[in-house]
Amino acid sequence: MNAATRAATAYCLTRGHTPIALHNGFPGLARHYKDEESSVRVIKWLDAENWASKGGSEIGTNRATPSEDFDGVSDALTYHKIDALFVVGGFEAFTAVSELRKARRDFDAFKIPIVVLPATVSNNVPGTEYSIGSDTCLNALIDYCDAIKQSAAASRRRVFVVETQGGASGYIATIAGLSIGAVAVYTPEEGIHLKMIASDIEHLKEQFAKDKGQNRSGKIILRNEKASKTYTTEIIANIIREESGGKFDSRFAVPGHVQQGGIPSPMDRVRAVRFGVKSMQHIESFIGKSKDEIANDPLSCSVIGITGAKVQFSGMEKVEKEETDWKDRRPKNEFWMDLVQIVDTLSGRPRPKKEDAIAAGLPA
């Protein structure tokens, strides 16, 4: 997040715009814009200069969205003569920008160019296949899993069930699964059912039976935090241990917020810079246009992201209506769903049967 803010700030200064930080999200803006220690502050270059490699967000963030106080947000933007808005954040930021777009009917202050740059470890923002922060999260997770795998290999015949973050999106679990060679990946999209667990235990039994004491025998199952309400990470580990017939052991592990923190990975940093600059250039393209011209241009409120082989801006309205699963807070078509099969193929895991999933009332 900081790398993006820094890049946008630098770009503004280079071109002669005034970069203004809205501290602590929309509530900060609405409540404290007139305070002496205002939440609306011009960013000086020296402040932002050393943000390139910092984790977290230096200007603070807040999950609340503008609809809680449209009037306050509108007043604040008008009071400070804000000409454009660049929002960096996850699904809440996406929701916030969507709300602002819809409220343009009633508030002229929102008829300004708005870009949202998806930044969340969960990578669940519609309109992009990649969010800033997700790469850092993946690296933290694979380091954690590597360490656990080593321990599992040392004590032989042990399966770790590791709980990953990601909200209702199995992206992190799946890509981490590809990166560490997980035995199986449990995602919210696919869900978990008893026959799936049973089949995976069978598979583990076969694997351990074949083991002739070679190196690197640690095994990991990755389970997304919301993959199932009933089959929690701990319960799955217990079931596996119980059913192993004493042939192998099973433990669970929850890395938790290790996945959120730390120094951002270089990929997240360079992409933040690139997308930050691109967003500013996009905003610049609206210079000289009237409020209504802006409001009538679908791209005046957009999300920047990667889709397939392209980096592009997508109009919010279209993304909101066609590409967003609002209930589960994730994109409708998640590009990585096909990759789950690759994890299975490469670990030799038999694909869970569709009819079993349907019988268990899951979407399959």
Distance, in Å, from the CA atom of 110 to the CA atom of 95, rounded to the nearest integer, reads 15
Closest CA to 159 of 229, 198, 208, 195: 208
Selected from 72, 107, 317, 335, the binder of another protein by CB under 8 A is: 335
Selected from 154, 194, 198, 270, the binder of another protein by CB under 8 A is: 270
Q: Which residues contact 288 (CB under 8 A, 6 or more apart)?
A: none
Selected from 243, 284, 328, 356, the binder of another protein by CB under 8 A is: 284
Other CB atoms within a 10 A radius of the CB of residue 58 amount to 18
4: contact with another protein by CB under 8 A: no
286: contact with another protein by CB under 8 A: no
Q: Which residue is associated with the tokens 């899951």?
A: 362
Q: In the window 171-230, what residues touch another protein (CB under 8 A)?
A: 175-176, 178-181, 210-211, 214-218
Residues in contact with another protein, counted by CB under 8 A, come to a total of 71
**The token pair that represents 93 in the structure block:** 């930021």
Residue among 103 and 267 whose Cβ is closer to another protein = 267
Choose the stretch contacting another protein; rule: CB under 8 A; options: 66-74, 227-235, 276-284, 321-329.
276-284
**The token pair that represents 254 in the structure block:** 């929850």
| Backbone torsions φ then ψ of 248, nearest 5 degrees | -155, 165
Residue among 205 and 274 whose Cβ is closer to another protein = 274
DSSP labels, 63-131: ---GGGGHHHHHHHHHHTT---EEEEESHHHHHHHHHHHHGGGT-GGG-S-EEEEEB-TT---TT-S--
Selected from 23, 104, 241, 269, the binder of another protein by CB under 8 A is: 269
Q: Kindly write out the interface string for residues 124-163 of this chain, putting x where it contacts another protein by CB under 8 A and - elsewhere.
A: -----xx----x--xx-xx---x--x---x----------
Q: How far is the CB of 144 from another protein (least distance, A)?
A: 11
Q: Kindly write out the interface string for residues 86-125 of this chain, putting x where it contacts another protein by CB under 8 A and - elsewhere.
A: ----------------------------------------
Choose the stretch contacting another protein; rule: CB under 8 A; options: 5-13, 64-72, 163-171, 237-245.
5-13
359: contact with another protein by CB under 8 A: no
Distance, in Å, from the CA atom of 305 to the CA atom of 125, rounded to the nearest integer, reads 9
Q: In the window 290-329, what residues touch another protein (CB under 8 A)?
A: 306-311
330: contact with another protein by CB under 8 A: no
Classified as helix, coil or strand, 305 is: strand
Residue among 82 and 360 whose Cβ is closer to another protein = 82
Q: Which residues contact 338 (CB under 8 A, 6 or more apart)?
A: none
